[in-house]
Amino acid sequence: MRRGGFQRLHGRQGGGGSGFKGMVVKLSIAAIVLLICTVSLFYSSSTSGGGGGTENLHSNHRTEIRLGELWSNADSAGWRPSSAPRTHWPPPPSQTNGYLRVRCNGGLNQQRSAISNAVLAARIMNATLVLPELDANSFWHDDSGFHGIYDVEHFIKTLKHDVKIVESIPEKQKNGKKKKIKAFQLRPPRDAPISWYTTEALNKMKEHGAIYLTPFSHRLAEEIDNAEYQRLRCRVNYHALRFKPHIMKLSQTIVDKLRSQGPFMSIHLRFEMDMLAFAGCFDIFTPEEQKILKKYREQNFAPKRLIYDERRAIGKCPLTPEEVGLILHALGFDNSTRIYLAAGELFGGDRFMKPFRSLFSRLENHTSVEHSEDLVQNTRGLAGSAVDYMVCLLSDIFMPTYDGPSNFANNLLGHRLYYGFRTTIRPDRKALAPIFIDREKGRVAGFEDAIRKVMLKTNFGEPHKRVSPESFYTNSWPECFCKTSAENPADKCPPNDVLNVMNNEIEKEATDEANSRIS
């Protein structure tokens, strides 16, 4: 059983429509987009009934897949997103133990989870967080930093009750002279436990006044036995980290144009050189292409014995575009389906896209949907990835084709879950691999039935238990969700839900802005 989804701003809205419309007129572009996301989340995830603690989830096992239901949001089972504290959570004290600097390496979404971890680390150590540094990305050739991608003022303001944040380490006065505080550099262990931050890191901070943690990708354990710490991660990731207004505006423009012709699906087609080289899946390529992949792997990854047939059989290879098309076709999607592709340069050229395009011709990306000068100016470097992220977040259906080490897909899966249990199609590559291998050997009888049988067992965006190796950033249930009526007190929604607080703040800001313009 699935629920009808929120009507995507072009259809009917829930109660209180006139007040909402009046407010929108007064808001700036940035506030409009935030309100769209917050109110969309609220309507999409309104509870469908009470009862049940974390143990009472709907079974994911279906007897059939109804195509029409996939275009609606998944059944929430009464859960709604909530990252507001549920126990005593004091504001940061006036005096902290020092300054925390971090260098977030990797791509846009790897940096996003690193920023969330940095905020949590600062809270754990009672540190003042210096605005996180973002690596000048070697792939995107982008050195725009935090200011170029995210709304800094919103970030600091949203987290003011959690951590102190400054844009740079201030100089200190000593003997009437100003002196810079030099941060002591540390390399945190991968997936470091909280105890590392409360001992080694904190001791160095108290000794030197500031520490610089570099690199800072995956440097704090994801599984932490402290629900309030996990909810802080959600507040950062889903509320504080807002892209700059021009990115949000362009993303919404693309979504509006796509949705003007009906619902649409987004696909993260991860069939690019870096991922193929990482996976070690070479044999389907020409000898020349294999040389390129092997060279890239030698330069960027640790040596490892990789045998294509073995990797393929256990689902370690990214799905080819043709395989993606065959899965969708087996599920009942046809050539009328409108698909937005979030992908870099596909390796191997058009010969891999041709079979996919023969099944699904209505393919779009941000350059085909929007042709304005804004697009050219605002999709350079990491901003282009940010636009793709937002379009995929707002799409009716999202399908990742390789959600193992793909930070883009993993973060989106978690964001869409939090954003109202929005439909995702997650192919089980390991279970599908023998079916595709049989097809390549000419054994095609019952092919689509076999695909559907595998997909019946997958999760389409419903709340579900997080089981290793699934990332917290992919599935923050149950810590960042609640029920208005719950048998288990730990699952009950707090009275001061963060959504209500944010709505009230936005409404007040809108009123103040309108009054200032009148005066």
Query: 65 Cβ partners below 8 Å, 6+ apart?
Result: 331, 332, 452, 455, 456
pLDDT in tens, the chain (519 residues): 554 433 333 333 333 333 333 333 333 444 444 444 443 433 333 333 333 345 455 555 678 899 999 999 998 989 999 999 999 999 999 999 999 999 998 888 899 999 999 999 999 999 999 999 998 755 556 667 899 999 999 999 999 999 999 999 998 877 778 888 999 999 999 999 999 999 999 999 999 999 999 999 999 999 999 999 999 999 999 999 999 999 999 999 999 999 999 999 999 998 989 889 999 999 999 999 999 999 999 998 999 988 989 999 999 999 999 999 999 999 999 999 999 999 778 898 899 999 999 999 999 988 888 767 766 666 667 788 899 999 999 999 999 998 765 688 999 999 999 999 999 999 999 999 999 999 999 999 999 999 999 999 999 999 999 988 899 999 999 999 999 888 888 888 988 655 555 556 655 655 565 565 555
Q: How far apart are CA 490 and CA 1, in angstroms?
A: 26
470 CB burial (10 A radius; 0-12, 13-18, 19+): middle
Sign of the Cα torsion 283, 285, 290, 293 reads: negative
pLDDT of residue 106: 85
Per DSSP, the chain holds a count of helices (H) and strands (E) of 22, 15
User: Which among 393, 369, 338, 505 is positioned nearest to 40, based on CA atoms?
Assistant: 393
Residues 105 and 139: beta-carbon distance below 8 Å: no
pLDDT of residue 374: 67
pLDDT of residue 26: 34
pLDDT of residue 502: 54
Residues 59 and 456: beta-carbon distance below 8 Å: no
Write down the residue that tokens 């802005």 correspond to: 513
Q: How far apart are CA 94 and CA 96, in angstroms?
A: 7
SS3 (DSSP) at 80:
strand
- DSSP letters of 89-145? -PPPPSS-S-EEEEEE-SSHHHHHHHHHHHHHHHHHHT-EEE--EE--BTTTTB--H
Give the count of beta carbons closer than 10 Å to the beta carbon of residue 9: 15
Q: How far apart are CA 377 and CA 313, in angstroms?
A: 43
pLDDT of residue 24: 34
Q: Spell out a b/e string for 32-53, using b for 16 or more CB atoms within 10 Å of the CB, else e.
A: bbbbbbbbbbbbbbeeeeeebe
Query: Residue 184: beta bridge partners?
Result: 211
Residues 108 and 385: beta-carbon distance below 8 Å: yes
Residues 284 and 234: beta-carbon distance below 8 Å: no
pLDDT of residue 137: 58
SS3 (DSSP) at 409:
helix
Q: How far apart are CA 285 and CA 351, in angstroms?
A: 11
pLDDT of residue 490: 85
pLDDT of residue 60: 55
pLDDT of residue 503: 52
Angle at the Cα of 259 from the Cα atoms of 108 and 452, rounded to 5 degrees: 80
**Bond before 478 cis per omega within 30 degrees:** yes
Write down the residue that tokens 């693309």 correspond to: 254
Give me 270's structure tokens.
Answer: 């991860």
pLDDT of residue 495: 80
Q: How far apart are CA 399 and CA 85, in angstroms?
A: 32
Between helix 245-259 and helix 29-44 the angle, nearest 10°, is 50
Distance of CA 47 to the CA centre of its chain: 23
Residues 195 and 222: beta-carbon distance below 8 Å: no
Residues 484 and 493: beta-carbon distance below 8 Å: yes
